[in-house]
Amino acid sequence: MAKQIFVNIPVKDLSIAIKFYTHLGFTFNQQFTNQDATCMVVSDDIMVMLLREEFFQKFTPKPIADAKKSTEVLICISAESREEVDQYVRLAIAAGGKALMPVQDHGFMYGHGFEDLDGHMWEISYMDMSALPQNP
Protein backbone atom coordinates (compact mmCIF):
# COMPACT_ATOMS: atom_id res chain seq x y z
CA MET A 1 0.00 0.00 0.00
CA ALA A 2 1.36 3.42 -0.96
CA LYS A 3 1.98 5.93 1.80
CA GLN A 4 -0.12 9.05 1.79
CA ILE A 5 0.99 12.49 2.92
CA PHE A 6 -1.28 15.04 4.54
CA VAL A 7 0.27 18.50 4.76
CA ASN A 8 -1.55 20.68 7.28
CA ILE A 9 -1.42 24.46 6.86
CA PRO A 10 -3.21 27.17 8.84
CA VAL A 11 -5.38 29.69 7.01
CA LYS A 12 -7.01 32.86 8.25
CA ASP A 13 -10.21 32.50 6.22
CA LEU A 14 -11.14 29.00 5.06
CA SER A 15 -13.69 30.06 2.43
CA ILE A 16 -11.24 32.52 0.82
CA ALA A 17 -8.50 29.86 0.82
CA ILE A 18 -10.86 27.38 -0.86
CA LYS A 19 -11.69 29.95 -3.57
CA PHE A 20 -7.97 30.64 -4.14
CA TYR A 21 -7.03 26.97 -4.57
CA THR A 22 -10.14 26.20 -6.62
CA HIS A 23 -8.97 28.94 -9.02
CA LEU A 24 -5.71 26.98 -9.37
CA GLY A 25 -7.68 23.87 -10.35
CA PHE A 26 -7.55 21.88 -7.11
CA THR A 27 -10.53 19.88 -5.85
CA PHE A 28 -11.60 19.11 -2.29
CA ASN A 29 -12.67 15.91 -0.56
CA GLN A 30 -16.01 16.80 0.98
CA GLN A 31 -15.77 13.87 3.43
CA PHE A 32 -13.05 15.82 5.24
CA THR A 33 -14.54 19.29 4.94
CA ASN A 34 -16.41 21.25 7.56
CA GLN A 35 -16.42 24.78 9.02
CA ASP A 36 -12.90 24.27 10.46
CA ALA A 37 -11.02 22.46 7.71
CA THR A 38 -11.00 21.10 4.19
CA CYS A 39 -8.98 18.45 2.40
CA MET A 40 -7.44 19.74 -0.84
CA VAL A 41 -6.56 16.90 -3.20
CA VAL A 42 -3.17 17.28 -4.91
CA SER A 43 -2.99 13.64 -6.07
CA ASP A 44 -4.27 10.24 -4.97
CA ASP A 45 -1.57 10.14 -2.31
CA ILE A 46 -1.05 13.81 -1.43
CA MET A 47 -3.56 15.97 0.38
CA VAL A 48 -3.26 19.44 1.86
CA MET A 49 -5.43 20.09 4.87
CA LEU A 50 -6.38 23.75 5.08
CA LEU A 51 -7.26 24.44 8.70
CA ARG A 52 -8.63 27.63 10.22
CA GLU A 53 -5.89 29.04 12.46
CA GLU A 54 -7.93 28.52 15.64
CA PHE A 55 -8.47 24.86 14.73
CA PHE A 56 -4.85 24.36 13.63
CA GLN A 57 -3.69 25.64 17.03
CA LYS A 58 -5.37 22.65 18.70
CA PHE A 59 -2.76 20.36 17.10
CA THR A 60 0.37 22.10 18.35
CA PRO A 61 1.59 23.59 21.62
CA LYS A 62 3.76 26.04 19.66
CA PRO A 63 2.56 29.39 18.33
CA ILE A 64 1.56 29.49 14.69
CA ALA A 65 4.23 31.14 12.55
CA ASP A 66 3.21 34.18 10.55
CA ALA A 67 4.03 32.87 7.07
CA LYS A 68 4.04 36.42 5.72
CA LYS A 69 7.02 37.25 7.96
CA SER A 70 8.98 33.99 8.19
CA THR A 71 9.25 30.68 6.40
CA GLU A 72 8.89 27.34 8.10
CA VAL A 73 8.38 25.20 5.02
CA LEU A 74 8.49 25.45 1.24
CA ILE A 75 5.92 23.18 -0.38
CA CYS A 76 7.00 21.89 -3.79
CA ILE A 77 4.83 19.97 -6.24
CA SER A 78 5.81 18.58 -9.60
CA ALA A 79 4.43 19.67 -12.94
CA GLU A 80 4.13 17.81 -16.23
CA SER A 81 5.72 20.61 -18.26
CA ARG A 82 7.29 24.06 -18.16
CA GLU A 83 3.97 25.42 -19.37
CA GLU A 84 2.16 23.87 -16.41
CA VAL A 85 4.67 25.53 -14.04
CA ASP A 86 3.96 28.91 -15.60
CA GLN A 87 0.20 28.28 -15.60
CA TYR A 88 0.10 27.59 -11.84
CA VAL A 89 1.95 30.83 -11.11
CA ARG A 90 -0.27 32.85 -13.49
CA LEU A 91 -3.41 31.43 -11.86
CA ALA A 92 -2.08 32.09 -8.36
CA ILE A 93 -1.30 35.71 -9.21
CA ALA A 94 -4.71 36.16 -10.83
CA ALA A 95 -6.32 34.81 -7.64
CA GLY A 96 -4.44 37.29 -5.42
CA GLY A 97 -1.21 35.43 -4.71
CA LYS A 98 2.30 36.74 -5.31
CA ALA A 99 5.11 35.36 -7.46
CA LEU A 100 8.21 34.15 -5.63
CA MET A 101 11.76 34.54 -6.84
CA PRO A 102 12.43 34.71 -10.59
CA VAL A 103 11.93 31.61 -12.74
CA GLN A 104 14.69 29.06 -12.15
CA ASP A 105 15.77 27.47 -15.44
CA HIS A 106 18.55 24.90 -15.16
CA GLY A 107 17.89 23.24 -18.50
CA PHE A 108 16.76 19.87 -17.15
CA MET A 109 14.91 21.49 -14.24
CA TYR A 110 12.50 24.41 -14.46
CA GLY A 111 10.69 25.95 -11.54
CA HIS A 112 8.79 28.93 -10.30
CA GLY A 113 6.59 29.55 -7.32
CA PHE A 114 4.01 31.64 -5.57
CA GLU A 115 2.94 32.80 -2.15
CA ASP A 116 -0.68 32.07 -1.28
CA LEU A 117 -3.02 34.48 0.50
CA ASP A 118 -1.75 33.39 3.93
CA GLY A 119 1.92 33.69 2.97
CA HIS A 120 2.62 29.97 2.46
CA MET A 121 5.25 29.40 -0.21
CA TRP A 122 4.57 26.96 -3.04
CA GLU A 123 7.16 25.94 -5.60
CA ILE A 124 6.16 24.25 -8.85
CA SER A 125 8.88 22.25 -10.57
CA TYR A 126 9.27 20.40 -13.85
CA MET A 127 12.15 18.00 -14.45
CA ASP A 128 13.08 16.70 -17.89
CA MET A 129 14.88 13.49 -16.94
CA SER A 130 16.13 12.99 -20.52
CA ALA A 131 18.08 16.26 -20.21
CA LEU A 132 19.53 15.46 -16.78
CA PRO A 133 23.33 15.85 -16.85
CA GLN A 134 25.15 12.53 -16.59
CA ASN A 135 27.90 11.96 -14.05
CA PRO A 136 31.31 11.41 -15.69
Out of 21, 39, 60, pick the residue that ends a domain.
60
Question: Quick one: 56 and 72 in the same domain?
Answer: no
Out of 21, 36, 60, pick the residue that ends a domain.
60
Question: Quick one: 19 and 72 in the same domain?
Answer: no
Residue 119 domain boundaries: 65-136
Confidence band of 11 (pLDDT split at 50, 70, 90): very high
Least confident of 14-28, 47-61, 122-136: 122-136
Q: What is the mean pLDDT of residues 5-26?
A: 97
Q: What is the mean pLDDT of residues 30-57?
A: 97
Question: Quick one: 53 and 102 in the same domain?
Answer: no
Domain count, the chain: 2
What's the CATH code of the domain at 91?
3.10.180.10
Helix or strand run (H / E) with residue 21: helix 14-23
Least confident of 36-40, 82-86, 125-129, 131-135: 131-135
Contacts of 112 (CB under 8 A, 6+ apart): 85, 86, 88, 89, 99, 100, 101, 102, 103, 104, 123, 124
Confidence band of 136 (pLDDT split at 50, 70, 90): low
Question: Quick one: 113 and 94 in the same domain?
Answer: yes
Out of 40, 60, 80, pick the residue that ends a domain.
60
pLDDT value for 47: 97
pLDDT above 80 (res 135)? no
